[in-house]
Amino acid sequence: MKNEDDELPAPAGDASDLIARSWQRCRDAGLDAAQALPVPATPPKTLADRLEANARLVAYAQPMLEGLYQHLARSSSMVLLADNAGMILRAVGDADFIARAARCHLQPGAVWSEAEMGTNAIGTALVERCTVAVVGREHFLDRNRFLTCISAPILAPGGGVLGVLDISGDARVAQVHGAALVEINAGIIENRLLETLPDAAVVLRLHATAEGLGSHLDGLLALADDGRCLAGNRRLPRLFGRPAGWSPAGAGFAELFATPWPALLEHACRRGEEPLAVRLRHGGELLARIGLRAGVRSFAVAAPPAAPARCPLDELGSEDPRMAEAIRRAKRIAECDIPLLIQGETGSGKEWFAQAFHKSGARRAAPFVAVNCAAIPATLIEAELFGHVEGAFTGARRSGARGKIREADGGTLFLDEIGDMPLALQAVLLRVLETRRVAPLGGHGEEPVDFALVCASHQPLRALVDHGQFRADLFFRLSGMTVSLPPLRERQDFDRVVRRILAEEAPGREPRVAPAALDLLRRHDWPGNLRQLRNVLRLAVALLGDERLLTPDFLPAELLDAGCRGHGESGLRAVQIRLVQETVERHGGNISAAARELGITRTTLYRKLAEGRGERGAAPDGGGAGGG
């Protein structure tokens, strides 16, 4: 039988010093080409941590992974993203090849550094900091020789390597143009990271010719609002006649350009993205397209509102560990344009969370536009989101409509219950997210839009993807960062939540909550979560009038019945007893008055009091507090 290895490409004799250097490093490190596959050592938590630490990288790389894979589809290959330690973070590819690759741990969570896996494109690109192809038997470890891998490093805006973009495939299938593909796409990811740097107020795209401006060959320069240079992309040094690896970070605008900074801003404000010829300090001229970042668009005219003293996300109740974790994660990306997905039961505060997220970011001065995908008939969502021109369809508004996406331009679009969005529309939304352009129904042209995206769902979106009800590519696009809000019944800061809502509902006269009432509230299941709690407390405050003590009498009767279900009969009995004791106390020991108020007989009331004292023979009557 023919050995599969015989069909593999042999290492090109002088294939490269680069491969030879890598093999030497492997030998020096004591790696053995025949070594067995170790048991995977990475616990899933580590992968989750790395995904979180690299949230911006993952968010901007994901569309590139999918786009690249479309080029390669059905060619026994996959596209991978690894972090700067070589850990694979994401993989998109043929199901068959993914399964084969998993046999040598080429999968998310595995570390493909040279030290772990010998010469391989990911690990070797990280060491050599350049695009690397490792073909078949060029791999140091025997078990990896069925692969051909091509990787390009992804450089951080401020310098250093952030990660690696890789195409891996069957060594018998030639990866034509693979190196160019990974390199171009790595450059595009770098550009997106630079364009969205949280501190950048202005991003210049520079090119020597008008025809070349706007392509992936542009030099990019990110600047703060005072003209200080923050970072440049890998094409910038050549445009400024500097050596590769030169960084503009820290330089003032006037150190690089002879054109004055205010003139540049004025041009941007008056002429938008129309190219401007800018003079360089050391001679020569480049064409510049000036991008003013959303949220700071009007900074040349008026300063953007200052960030609030306390982060709005912190106001949501960070005393609960799960809320604190959700807040901590969201705060990490609040200043960047990474899509946030909020999962949580109905009424658990997803929209409030989204609003606080918006107010915590650079777009806080721009609109927050919410769309509930479950509340709009499927036939109308498209017009609602994308807008329509006059008479685009029967029933269309005569004047047309801008559509929610264009209303959110510059700000944040919140898509609630995204899981309910029809599949056909998911494809349209994906296109808008990819192109950042929107075409109103019945119109001819597309318009550019710029918004941060926050989505929410009470259904686990991942499960919808697994059942084919939600597009996987859209899911990855939406979930740059996912946070889960705990249901109210599981919140450890329940008492504080009650007090906070009471303070909001009865400002200046916050009532005290009697222990029995708090007990009742704590025991309830709260299927409607914060919304339901607020409604219950709002009603209680209305009934209280001038009274200052919120007792169980002010709570809806069904709270007692429904809420205690599932807590067992003894729990129910304890609540009933506490309720009876409190009522008697409030009536100064007047049993008849208390029984009248509770709607039970005096005998039942005595029995409850006896039960409370732990006296024998006090049988429960089995009814609710109002029975007897």
Interface contacts to ligand ATP, rule CB under 6 A: 316-317, 344, 346-352, 416, 456, 458, 501, 530-531, 534
Q: Whole-number minimum distance, CB 323 to ligand ATP, in Å?
A: 8
Q: Is residue 125 within 8 Å of residue 155, measured between CB atoms?
A: no
User: Where do runs of H (alpha helix) occur along 240-306?
Assistant: 253-256, 261-271
As to burial, measured by CB atoms within 10 angstroms (0-12 exposed, 13-18 middle, 19+ buried), residue 200 is: buried
Residues 159, 31 contacting (CB under 8 angstroms): no
Describe the chain by its helix, strand, coil percentages, rounded to 5: 40, 15, 40
User: 108 or 349: whose CB is closer to ligand ATP?
Assistant: 349
Least separation in angstroms between residue 402's CB and ligand ATP is: 24
| Nearest residue to ligand ATP on Cβ basis | 349
Q: In this structure, what token pair is assigned to residue 100?
A: 């084969």
Nearer to ligand ATP, 146 or 368 (CB): 368
What CA dihedral angle connects 89, 94, 97 and 103, to 10 degrees?
40
CB of 353 to ligand ATP, least distance (A): 7
Nearer to ligand ATP, 501 or 559 (CB): 501
Amino acid at 560: L
**Residue number, 122 or 530, with CB nearest to ligand ATP:** 530
CB nearer ligand ATP, residue 164 or residue 501: 501
Residue nearer to ligand ATP on the CB measure, 319 or 569: 319
> In this structure, are residues 333 and 322 in contact, taking their beta carbons and an 8 Å threshold?
no
* Beta carbon nearer to ligand ATP, 481 or 530: 530
CA neighbor of 219 nearest in space, from 202, 231, 229, 205: 205
**Side-chain-facing half-sphere of 433: CA atoms under 13 Å:** 28
Reading the block at residue 239, the tokens are: 């445009």
219-223 and 202-207 strand pairing:
antiparallel
CB neighbour class for 260 (10 Å; exposed up to 12, middle 13-18, buried from 19): middle
Q: Supply the minimum distance, in Å, between the C-beta of residue 522 and ligand ATP.
A: 16
Concatenating the DSSP letter of every residue in 589-628 gives T-HHHHHHHHT--HHHHHHHHHHHTT-TT-----S-TT--
Phi/psi of residue 344, nearest 5 degrees: 170, 155
Q: Report the nearest approach of ligand ATP to the CB of residue 463 (Å).
A: 17
Query: Tokens 């001065």, residue?
Result: 365
CA distance 363 to 417: 23
Q: Nearer to ligand ATP by C-beta: 171 or 371?
A: 371
Least distance to ligand ATP, CB of residue 132, Å:
47
Q: How far is CA 573 from the centre of its chain?
A: 45
Q: Least CB distance from residue 403 to ligand ATP, whole Å?
A: 21
Amino acid at 22: S
- In the complex with ligand ATP, the residue whose CB is nearer, 225 or 345, is 345
Least distance in angstroms from the C-beta of 460 to ligand ATP: 13
Residue 611 one-letter amino acid:
E
Minimum CB–partner distance for residue 454 and ligand ATP (Å): 11
Q: Which is nearer to ligand ATP, 128 or 314 (CB)?
A: 314
Minimal distance in Å, beta carbon 456 to ligand ATP? 6
Considering the complex, state which of residue 317 and residue 410 has its C-beta at the smaller distance from ligand ATP: 317
Instruction: Yes or no: say if 98 and 78 are a contact pair by the CB < 8 Å rule.
Output: yes
| Phi and psi torsions of 92, nearest 5° | -130, 130
Beta carbon of residue 348, minimum distance to ligand ATP (angstroms, whole number): 5
Let me know the angle formed at the C-alpha of 553 by 549 and 554, rounded to the nearest 5 degrees.
Answer: 65
